[in-house]
């Protein structure tokens, strides 16, 4: 962890560097940093010299905008009538870095806590020192459940696990908080609503078990979602009539926040909208909640060359120059989360101008057509995805041009990419 902190400090010390100073750092050659790898905001090895990775190298990186994260979560809460937010940080916080995002949200009042799906994500958060509640929505074996409890993580429960929970309460000398998972029509996870009361009663029979919350998932069918909420509230009322308090109700993910006001309940549970992206085309068109772009995906030009008429590029030779043309090589590819489909469909921004990605995309490289003139140099910064004046490089724009979908685009950003929180 010590090295992780050192790397984070280095990455945040200098957000950008001009080309001249960058090249001096890199030794004027793209090969000078060939041994440099990637790291997350929390991972590294302490014994490498120079520091790994260098603050300004050829490696692609992500800039995470903390003010945009704050803006988005506050706008989502405002749209839901000021309800607190259980921030969904699944899939490495949609590519933004789970620990970095959670640490930022620690100081944002409307954020009640964090929801994750994978056990390791929950453990990473718990060990990072965040103090707000962590809710694990994914499944756990008996062994895993005890491990979760050890770390003060709140598990989602959708079977009668009262015997084990009571034992754990005695072992750790504290109540066992749970979020009770109800299936109101999604059919994926949760106790079917019409079978839920016996399970509720079995759990509630033990003072050691505390219902911290109760949740369900919406199908995102406009006609059916209100029926799901009716079923959910009916269960809640049945429990109340028997003196059982089921805790905070939450059902609305990003789509529910935008489209299903009746689902706002006691707390909302947004995912992708936290990160400046809309859950569907309707929400994107209406922009009824003014979300802001939360990240820039960047790299640097690693090589510039002029190819001759008839020269070919990349696997398959699907690009053959019709005339002498300047080409820039970027050290980023589909292994980093830059989709294969960006080739021949998307542009990148270099020195204020957009240039097309051409040929084919490999795991770690892509090629950009500069044209008749050498308008870029080694070390020049390149914007792949992010906010631009014409909006042509936003995540939604890139997702639309490539056909991969904005969810896939964000979730496939490699977890090893360095992340700079600015």
CATH of the domain at 393: 2.40.37.10
Instruction: Clarify whether residues 300 and 385 are in a common domain.
Output: yes
- Inside any domain, residue 175: yes
What is the enclosing helix (H) or strand (E) of 181?
strand 176-183
Residue 55: per-residue pLDDT: 56
Its sign, for the CA torsion 387, 388, 391, 394, is negative
- Inside any domain, residue 14: yes
Instruction: Clarify whether residues 33 and 117 are in a common domain.
Output: no
Instruction: Clarify whether residues 208 and 249 are in a common domain.
Output: yes
Instruction: Round to whole Å and give the CA distance between 265 and 256.
Output: 11
Whether residue 50 is preceded by a cis peptide bond, meaning omega within 30 degrees of 0, is yes
Residue 56: per-residue pLDDT: 63
Nearest to 176 by CA among 143, 153, 201: 153
Domain ends where: 234, 256, 286?
Answer: 286
For 369, the 3-state DSSP assignment is strand
- Inside any domain, residue 291: no
Instruction: Clarify whether residues 39 and 79 are in a common domain.
Output: no
Instruction: Clarify whether residues 380 and 350 are in a common domain.
Output: yes
Mean pLDDT per 10-residue section of the chain, whose length is 422 residues: 37 43 44 34 38 66 97 98 98 96 98 97 96 97 94 96 96 97 97 98 97 98 97 98 98 98 98 97 94 96 97 94 97 97 97 97 97 97 90 92 96 94 95
Residue found by looking up tokens 């950009």 in the block: 368
- Domain extent for 216: 66-286
DSSP assignment of 324-343 equals: -EEEEEES--GGGT--GGGT
Instruction: Clarify whether residues 88 and 222 are in a common domain.
Output: yes
Instruction: Clarify whether residues 115 and 188 are in a common domain.
Output: yes
Nearest to 362 by CA among 400, 380, 386, 336: 336
Structure tokens at 324: 């002498």
Instruction: Clarify whether residues 173 and 247 are in a common domain.
Output: yes
Instruction: Round to whole Å and give the CA distance between 272 and 411.
Output: 10
Q: Note the pTM of the prediction, 2 decimals.
A: 0.87
- Inside any domain, residue 342: yes
Instruction: Clarify whether residues 259 and 112 are in a common domain.
Output: yes
The CATH number for 94's domain is 3.20.20.10
Instruction: Clarify whether residues 142 and 190 are in a common domain.
Output: yes
Residue 13: per-residue pLDDT: 41
Instruction: Clarify whether residues 142 and 42 are in a common domain.
Output: no
- Inside any domain, residue 346: yes
Backbone angles phi, psi at 261, to 5 degrees: -55, -35
Domain ends where: 286, 319, 337?
Answer: 286
Nearest to 89 by CA among 294, 289, 283, 274: 274
Nearest to 58 by CA among 419, 326, 305, 330: 330
- Inside any domain, residue 301: yes
Instruction: Round to whole Å and give the CA distance between 95 and 85.
Output: 19
Instruction: Round to whole Å and give the CA distance between 188 and 190.
Output: 7
- Inside any domain, residue 71: yes
Instruction: Round to whole Å and give the CA distance between 306 and 109.
Output: 54
Q: Are 256 and 23 in contact (CB under 8 A)?
A: no
Own/partner long-range contacts of 261-266 (Cβ < 8 Å, ≥24 apart): 261/80, 262/225, 262/226, 262/229, 263/218, 263/225, 263/228, 263/229, 264/80, 264/81, 264/83, 265/83, 265/229, 266/83, 266/84
Ramachandran assignment for 13, one of left (phi > 0), alpha (psi -120 to 50 degrees), beta (any other)? alpha
Domain ends where: 228, 260, 286?
Answer: 286
Structure tokens at 158: 């959708």
Instruction: Clarify whether residues 332 and 400 are in a common domain.
Output: yes
Residue 113: per-residue pLDDT: 98
Tally of domains within the chain: 2
Residue 350: per-residue pLDDT: 97
Query: What one-character DSSP code corresponds to residue 286?
Result: H
């Amino acid at each position: 962890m010590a090295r992780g902190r050192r790397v984070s400090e280095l990455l945040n010390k200098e957000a950008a560097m001009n080309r001249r100073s960058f090249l001096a750092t890199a030794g004027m050659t793209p090969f000078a940093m060939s041994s440099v790898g990637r790291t997350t905001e929390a991972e590294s090895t302490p014994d490498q010299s120079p520091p790994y990775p260098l603050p300004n190298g050829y490696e692609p990186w992500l800039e995470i905008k903390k003010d945009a994260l704050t803006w988005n979560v506050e706008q989502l809460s405002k749209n839901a009538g000021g309800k607190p937010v259980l921030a969904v940080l699944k899939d490495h916080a949609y590519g933004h870095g789970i620990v970095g995002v959670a640490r930022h949200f620690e100081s944002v009042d409307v954020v009640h806590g964090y929801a994750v799906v994978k056990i390791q994500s929950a453990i990473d958060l718990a060990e990072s020192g965040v103090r707000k509640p962590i809710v694990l929505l994914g499944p756990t074996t008996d062994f895993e459940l005890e491990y979760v409890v050890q770390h003060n993580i709140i598990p989602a429960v959708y079977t009668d696990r009262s015997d084990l929970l009571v034992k754990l309460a005695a072992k750790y000398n504290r109540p066992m908080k749970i979020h009770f998972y109800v299936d109101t029509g999604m059919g994926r996870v949760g106790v079917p609503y019409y079978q839920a009361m016996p399970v509720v009663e079995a759990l509630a029979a033990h003072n050691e078990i505390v219902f911290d919350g109760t949740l369900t998932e919406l199908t995102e069918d406009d006609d059916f979602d209100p029926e799901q909420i009716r079923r959910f509230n009916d269960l809640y009322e049945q429990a109340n009539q028997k003196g059982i308090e089921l805790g905070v109700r939450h059902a609305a993910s990003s789509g529910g926040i935008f489209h299903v006001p009746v689902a706002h309940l006691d707390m909302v549970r947004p995912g992708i909208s936290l990160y400046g992206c809309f859950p569907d085309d309707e929400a994107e068109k209406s922009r009824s909640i003014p979300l802001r772009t939360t990240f820039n995906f960047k790299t640097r030009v690693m090589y510039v060359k002029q190819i001759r008429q008839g020269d070919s590029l990349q696997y398959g030779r699907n690009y053959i120059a019709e005339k002498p043309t300047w080409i820039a090589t970027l050290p980023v590819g589909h292994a980093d989360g830059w989709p294969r489909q960006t080739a021949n469909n998307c542009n990148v921004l270099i020195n204020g101008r957009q240039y097309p990605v051409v040929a084919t995309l490999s795991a770690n490289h892509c090629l950009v057509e500069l044209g008749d003139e050498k308008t870029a140099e080694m070390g020049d910064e390149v914007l792949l995805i992010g906010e631009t004046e014409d909006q042509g490089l936003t995540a939604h724009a890139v997702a639309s041009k490539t056909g991969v979908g904005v969810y896939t685009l964000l979730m496939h950003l490699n977890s090893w990419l360095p992340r700079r929180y600015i």
